[in-house]
Structure 1
């Protein structure tokens, strides 16, 4: 027996995920009306969709700035997308502004793990290895990897819990935007300034 999917429920899922109406209805039907399960289905499809788009060129986009109240912290950011049409979209602009605010609040060092200087990663690896001394050899590697992942989640923008919803990382929010707007996007670079900082 199939569950009746109300327009209200479809609207609620759309509001929560930003997915299209038909995608929301299909996901709710697949999940027998369970809102959380349907959101998970959409998220998995969104990740798969974003993965397919990841090879596409991003030569358009937006440079934006955020100055925190009082003028003590400022951020300049470049986020790229595929077309000028998406660059002018309000959802895209809001996403860029939200990421700027996130950078001002959480002070990441770089965009992704690949950008962390090798000497810093090696230093963190050494610290983690010294903390794991005396543990069984099989556990040492897991401890080191766990500590490195924790380090990345503090210094890498894409690995950080998103300031507006810490149940997601910035990468999760970026993936959702790629799925929602139908284009590849990339947070290319940022600079964060703070008064008195060297």
Structure 2
């Protein structure tokens, strides 16, 4: 009877996740760049073990990267990084989903890391322009987030930290064997990382001291010109025969109804092809920064003033979201 009168007592068991200190969360955030809530979650999952929590975040980042891989990444940065002697310049394009992330310090640090890896990647073959294979660059090792890892792993870590799909789109190195490479980045978010970049290789055998400095300045000006004028080729000699044939066919079609004589039509065709070269070839373009005529004229004038030989041997121009072929494939 008494047992029926006694109120039934139910024991409620409450569980609490192991609490972690704010200092540990801060350390993990500084180490990985991950959001505070993710750092706390990782530390709770690994019972306050900092190293294990960092590994947890990396594994989480791989899963996150796989989920976000199908999302478009059309923003980001184009960046340039040079050796101290200016004999090599790397250009890279690293994409993000939004302009907001492109301006983030974590993303910019990642971009510099990728550019440094591109600059150090061994490259063989002749020519001023070396197009890098993205898979090879992704497999290169870098120091990032306090550990040695591949570029691909660093990007995955960036995905986990920033919450957006990130993609390494392209990279190249412009080099000079006995000269300098001038470069310029336009619309920079941070030093040497922005929306458009160009690098121009100038060979100047034996140039030293002030002459070399002047040639480096010329290279930078030519890179600024390339950013503005968007050349497709270095010179007439570097335009593929197939492209010349295409342009010639277009001109012939335009003149198909002309009643002019064959000699006149040939002259018109030559003039129109000349106009194409002046628009498409760096050395044939009118220099846009000063009223000095063609780029080739400027280079010849500076060489005479400095009493040294200067030869422009190649260039590359990257614009954010531009076609991968917007720099000359042969570097000539």
TM-score, normalized by length of structure 1? Answer: 0.71
- The residue aligned with 1:184 is 165
Secondary structure at the aligned position of 2:134 is classed as: coil
Distance 1:95 1:167 in 2: 14
- The residue aligned with 1:6 is 21
Which of 73, 80, 95 is the equivalent residue of 1:65?
Answer: 80
Which of 137, 144, 150 is the equivalent residue of 1:157?
Answer: 137
Q: Which structure exhibits the higher relative contact order, with contacts defined as CA atoms closer than 8 Å and separated by 6 or more residues?
A: 1
Q: CA deviation at 1:170?
A: 0.4
Distance 2:98 2:59 in 1: 25
Q: CA deviation at 1:45?
A: 1.0
Q: CA deviation at 1:80?
A: 1.2
* 2:101 matches 1:86: yes
CA contact (8 A) 2:42 2:53 kept: yes
Q: CA deviation at 1:32?
A: 1.2
Q: Please, which moves more after superposition, 34-43 or 82-91?
A: 82-91
Distance 2:143 2:56 in 1: 24
Q: Please, which moves more after superposition, 158-167 or 79-88?
A: 158-167
Please, which runs of 5 or more residues in structure 1 have no aligned partner? Answer: 113-155
Q: CA deviation at 1:69?
A: 0.5
Q: Which has the higher helix share?
A: 1
Secondary structure at the aligned position of 1:75 is classed as: strand
- Change in 2 beyond 3 A, CA 1:166/1:91: closer
Q: CA deviation at 1:163?
A: 4.8
CA contact (8 A) 2:113 2:142 kept: no
* Deviations, residues 143-179 of structure 1 (Å, cap 9, x unaligned): xxxxxxxxxxxxx011111155662110000001111
Q: CA deviation at 1:2?
A: 6.4
* 2:113 matches 1:98: yes
- The residue aligned with 1:110 is 133
- Change in 2 beyond 3 A, CA 1:157/1:71: same
* Deviations, residues 30-68 of structure 1 (Å, cap 9, x unaligned): 111111111111111111111100011111121111111
Q: For residues 14-25 of structure 1, what are the structure 2 equivalents within 5 Å?
A: 14-25=29-40
Please, which runs of 5 or more residues in structure 2 have no aligned partner? Answer: 1-15, 124-131, 179-330
Aligned length: 155
- The residue aligned with 1:149 is none
Moved over 3 A (4+): 1-4, 163-166
CA contact (8 A) 2:143 2:149 kept: no
- The residue aligned with 2:64 is 49
Q: CA deviation at 1:81?
A: 1.2
Distance 1:61 1:4 in 2: 37
